[in-house]
Amino acid sequence: MQARELTVPGAFEFTPRTFPDSRGVFVSPFQGEAFTKAVGHPLTVAQSNHSTSRRGSVRGLHFADVPPGQAKYVYCPQGALLDFVVDIRVGSPTFGQWDCVRLDPVDFRGVYVPEGVGHGFVALEDDTVISYLCSTGYNPGAEHGIDPMDQELALPWGQGVDGFEPLLSEKDASAPSLAEAAASGLLPRYTDCLAWYDKLRSA
């Protein structure tokens, strides 16, 4: 499995080997040893999530309070999507920067989203499935969102989707902009995130 750190420090793309034959294909989208070698600590899995989305559906940008936050390892076993990570850690040298990776069942790439980093995706096809491994369980009081259509971020959600019309939940559509979330003290602090990462590496 190959690992590549993304533009947002601490976020990684993982590309596994695939083993096709006349019956189909075998692949291991998540591999603990390769993950730990790249990230510096194992992934604790407290919950797995699964969603199916129509073409043009945008989910995110989501994040959780740190500590403990919620790290995610995501991959796409059906359809295709663009997966976005955004550095929303106040004080980070890359604050406001983002990166994206196409996820699909051709290469079976996975993306690791560390605690404190914003995450979202757009489905490029109908019946697109995304699977998450999450480091913590669902905690609605600690989970938040950023407006995915924030003009300051200018994320290219429509890239690769002809006639793109974004489909958003009411919650995501009414989320604050990055600047509004920062001004209200909603965003994770970079120093808190670094302290949490250090704790994970020393556990």
**132 catalytically annotated:** yes
CB-based contact 5:114 (threshold 8 Å): no
Catalytic residue among 41, 50, 75, 132: 132
**62 catalytically annotated:** yes
13/6 Cα distance (integer angstroms): 7
The string of DSSP codes covering 139-202 is: -GGGEEE--TT-TTT---TTTT-TT---B--HHHHTPPPHHHHHHTT-SPBHHHHHHHHHHHHH
Catalytic residue among 62, 75, 119, 190: 62
Q: Which residues contact 93 (CB under 8 A, 6 or more apart)?
A: none
Determine the residue type at 176: P
Instruction: Report the relative pairing of strands 110-113 and 12-15 from DSSP bridges.
Output: antiparallel
**Rg for the chain, CA atoms, rounded:** 16
Helix (H) or strand (E) holding 73: strand 72-78
Return the active site residues. 62, 132
